Structure 1
């Protein structure tokens, strides 16, 4: 989940006098340069939890350090790169994969010709039952390490191919 800031009133402590920069009143530090306009973005007004999702199809600019960078943003952890966009993928290892982890992918299977599975630093085979499940859905599967998967994905995106990727991060 990611945090999405909501616009609203900023909750501020009841301060007797905040005219002295750097002084503490009622145990709360004050900063005269911070405006407390009612239209400022403030976490105190509420948080909305949403699934991490990026609707674009930008190439992956960087991978490593446990995450990926694409579309001028970054994500830590595994991702699903689908026709609908890039989604956070809640799975830790290839061996932990089940058909439930591919539900979003299978929902978009009509728009996918090839699934690239990037398994991290090393190539790890997918359970035969999962591979068969992908084939039955009409999806061709290509398994490789994440570095090769990112490079292949970027090339196929530049060719406007119907490609999806399930990518595990590398250190």
Structure 2
């Protein structure tokens, strides 16, 4: 599905998504990635939602996001509760969504000037 762009003024924005990919600024990515308004971290090394731990967010946390959106693919899946608590205890908002909702929400928050990060599990496999 394509998302319609508004004025993103140089910000990274999701422009589409589908089975096994997301598109950012019209560039298609078929790997897990992290998207920030001013940076894209490709090949985020996560193989499943169950595998996620704080180490997977180290690089992302250096960017000091105020909220992290975890896009879990076509189906909504929740990571370990300890991970969610650890991120929230650091004063970071943490929301888990399917890919479609994460793409839309990220675009809205980034255009509002929020320091949002989308951690997208595009190629996650069952553990």
TM-score, normalised to structure 2, is 0.79
Residue in structure 1 matched with residue 57 of structure 2 by the alignment: 102
Q: Between Structure 1 and Structure 2, whose CA radius of gyration is higher?
A: 1
Per-residue CA deviation, residues 65-92 of structure 1 (Å, 9 max, x unaligned), is: 3122122422211111135501111212
Does residue 131 in structure 1 map to residue 84 in structure 2? yes
Structure 1 stretches (4+) deviating beyond 6 angstroms?
none
Count of paired positions: 113
Residue ranges of structure 2 left out of the alignment (5+ in a row): 1-9
1:154 to 101, 107, 123: 107
Take 1:78 and 1:138, find their aligned partners in 2: how far apart are those partners? 25
Does residue 80 in structure 1 map to residue 28 in structure 2? no
Higher relative CO (Cα under 8 Å, sequence separation at least 6) belongs to 2
TM-score, normalised to structure 1, is 0.60
Take 2:26 and 2:36, find their aligned partners in 1: how far apart are those partners? 18
Residue in structure 2 matched with residue 114 of structure 1 by the alignment: 67
Take 2:66 and 2:61, find their aligned partners in 1: how far apart are those partners? 12
Residue ranges of structure 1 left out of the alignment (5+ in a row): 1-55
CA-atom RMSD, angstroms?
1.7
Per-residue CA deviation, residues 31-80 of structure 1 (Å, 9 max, x unaligned), is: xxxxxxxxxxxxxxxxxxxxxxxxx6321111123122122422211111
Q: Is the 8 A contact 2:21 2:122 kept in 1?
A: yes
Q: Is the 8 A contact 1:62 1:68 kept in 2?
A: yes
Take 1:57 and 1:130, find their aligned partners in 2: how far apart are those partners? 28
